[in-house]
Amino acid sequence: MGFRFRRSLKLFPGLKINFSKSGPSLSVGGRGHTLNVSIRGARATVGIPGTGLSYSKRLSAPPKTTSTPAPYQETSKSMGHVLLKVFLFLAVLGIGYYILH
């Protein structure tokens, strides 16, 4: 069994950035419902708080790799840019919400 690493940082209520060995991801939502976006794709999870019961569905998958690593590296960089844009958009929304309330 190998070592695992995971750390999350709460940016705003309902918005977290997660750091792990496989890379960063962004989680939006709270108890009972979460949307997670990472280089590996997007995943939605819905659950009943306090019961341990949940349902998770992959909304998008990472592109399939080919025998040459160059296309995958290009795609992972563009996915990182998409993740950064989503993060910045949600951060601006959170700041706007915080200022208005």
Mean pLDDT of the chain: 77
Sign of CA dihedral 36, 26, 24, 80: positive
Q: Which residue has the higher pLDDT, 56 or 90?
A: 56
Contact residues for 99 (Cβ-Cβ < 8 A; gap 6+) = none
Starting at the earlier edge strand, list the strands of the sheet with 6-12. Answer: 6-12, 15-20, 25-30, 33-38, 41-48, 53-60
pLDDT digits (tens, 9 = 90+) for 55-78: 999 888 766 666 555 554 444 556
The pLDDT of residue 50: 86
pLDDT at 17 over 80: yes
pLDDT class of 2 with cuts at 50, 70, 90: confident
The total of other beta-carbon atoms located within 10 Å of residue 83's CB is 19
pTM: 0.55
Tokens describing residue 74: 């290009």
